[in-house]
A and B are shown apart, each in its own frame.
Chain A
Amino acid sequence: MNLSLPAMYGYLGQLAEGALITMELFLTSFALALLFGILIAMATSTKSRIVAAIWNVYASIFMGVPSLLVIFLIFYGGSAMVTGVFGDDASIDITPFSAGVAALSIVYAAYIAELLRGAIANLPHGQFEGARALAIPPLIMWLRVILPQVARLALPGLVNVWSFMIKETPLVSLAGLNDLVATAKIAAGATKEPFIFFIATALFFIVFSAATLWLATRLEIRLDRGLTRSKA
């Protein structure tokens, strides 16, 4: 141990900043992925063949390619894509953070949409027919009838995506984001204490996952209120 206490505190502060960036990145990406996932699931729950074909291509691409590659593609090529679509006036700088948010939310929207599609397909068809028979407008039907039930069915799967996605956020550090993992790497190199910093970082992820898992169980119980559970 060749690390003085004050130096340790200094690194601790940097690590905390890094952790904050990691959390910001993760929560922003997850929120966007959830939003896009819901919209995609709603849009693709029609019977249209064309919509289904487009969805299949999207899902196949983003589930068949490493997220890291998507991050690099958006980070390197993002500004070229923006000028390509909106013309030369709309030039923007792509930061690692925004590239990470864009990439992770695009990729995980596919996973979440797949999950929600499964849940929607598992709802009794009478729910849609009933809503139509009562002349409930489509938007209200989705918001008040379908999605609440979907939430209950899809929650365990969403928790899986959640805990898988948090483990993919460090990839954005490879595009140059100074997140927790990047900070830990710098600290480990400077102090020659790789075990302390990397294990501390690992524990951060483990504790975060465990804490959210606990919250998810709570949420699950709350969503399942009003349903009797058959205990086998």
Chain B
Amino acid sequence: MSGLPIDLALAYESMPALLRGLMTTMLITAVPLVFGLALAFPLCFARMSERPWLARSAETFVVFFRGTPVLILLYLVYYGFGQIKMLREGPLWLLFGSAFGCAIVAFSLNHAAYMVEVLRGSLLAVPAGLVEASEALGISRRKVFLWVRMPLAIRYGLKAYQNEVISFAKGTAIVSVVTITDLTAVANGIFEQTYDPFTPILSAAALYWAFINAIRIVFRFWGDYLNRHNEAGVAEETSSLPASALASVGGAPAVAGSATGTTAGTGKEAA
């Protein structure tokens, strides 16, 4: 046999199991995306707050949960929280008692920390004059936020958000270490049964690839929709850098893709 020996029969046979794994992967991606985003808003406000203690503690949260590899976070939650007696007897055990709950908690915290920076960068990219003008017109701060800052911030930050969602979705491949049978775990299981090193992993890779690119397509439509007012402003070709430190070093000027993607992280307009 030459080339990559891919056993098509085995790939076909294992497809139902792999697809079930893919469903788990999608679930373990989608749930933390929701919780993480919900958590990121209050944290972002705290981070941008003028009260030093509030801003400082939010920053500490971000530094810890963004700087720690997700694998360690997962171990920390899965092996750590099970040790706390109080938690075992309390109602929160429903959450920390299952591997799935632990994975959701760890991933949500990680995603929230990244999203705080994405949100902050996007909000800071909104020209201050616009906000001042709206306030001068007597529009309430709430309404200014909802109808002026947020809509623009979403546009500025969409690329950074896409990068974070994609790298997060790929990062979920580690959940198999806490006994969750996601796509990677299924592929590993098939490998252990058949000792075929290529077929299961390449099939899983193909499914991951389709999943990731489906996310990219959704974001492209979203971006086109947001930019429907100016045809020229259609987002450039996706630069799929790890979302990571978009904000940590003040973005990657000149390189990181489209103009909107660049401004999002820098927050230079802050001054």
Contacts and interface: CB of A to CB of B under 8 A. Distances in A.
Interface of A: 60-61, 63-70, 72-73, 76-77, 80-81, 84, 111, 114-115, 118-119, 122, 153-154, 156-157, 159-161, 163-164, 166-171, 173-174, 181, 184-185, 188-189, 192, 194-195, 198-199, 201-202, 205-206, 209-210, 213, 216-217, 232
Given A66-B184, A67-B170, A163-B248, A173 B71 contact: yes
Contacts of A157: 241, 252, 255-256
A163 B244 CA distance: 8
A156 B75 contact: no
Nearest to A159: B249
Contacts of B268: 232
A202 B68 CA distance: 5
Contact of B213 (A64, A163, A213): A64
A188 B209 CA distance: 35
B188 A119 contact: no
B71 A61 contact: no
A68 B173 contact: yes
Interface of B: 2-5, 63-64, 67-73, 75-76, 79-80, 83, 167, 170-174, 177, 184, 187-188, 191, 197-198, 201-202, 204-205, 208-209, 212-213, 239-242, 244-246, 248-257, 268, 271
B248 A84 contact: no
B67 A202 contact: yes
Contact of B75 (A81, A114, A185): A185
Contacts of B76: 194-195, 198-199, 202
A65 B71 contact: no
A36 B167 CA distance: 22
Identify the interface centre among A63, A73, A84, A216: most chain B CB within 10 Å of its CB: A63
A155 to B, nearest CB: 9
A198 B201 contact: no
User: What does DSSP make chain A's interface, helix, strand, loop or mixed?
Assistant: helix
The 7 nearest A-B residue pairs measured at CB: A77-B197, A157-B252, A66-B173, A206-B67, A76-B197, A164-B242, A164-B244
Contact of B201 (A76, A118, A205): A76
Contact of A69 (B72, B80, B205): B205
Given A173-B71, A206-B64, A161 B249 contact: no
A61 B209 contact: yes
18 contacts: A64-B208, A66-B173, A66-B184, A69-B205, A73-B197, A77-B197, A80-B198, A84-B5, A114-B240, A156-B252, A157-B252, A159-B245, A159-B249, A160-B241, A169-B69, A171-B71, A194-B83, A205-B68
A167 B70 contact: yes
A205 B184 contact: no
B191 A202 contact: no
Given A69-B173, A185-B79, 20 more contacts: A63-B240, A65-B170, A66-B170, A68-B173, A69-B187, A84-B4, A118-B239, A160-B244, A160-B252, A160-B256, A163-B245, A167-B70, A170-B72, A194-B80, A194-B83, A195-B76, A195-B83, A199-B76, A205-B67, A232-B268
Contacts of A194: 75-76, 79-80, 83
Nearest to A154: B255
Nearest to B3: A84
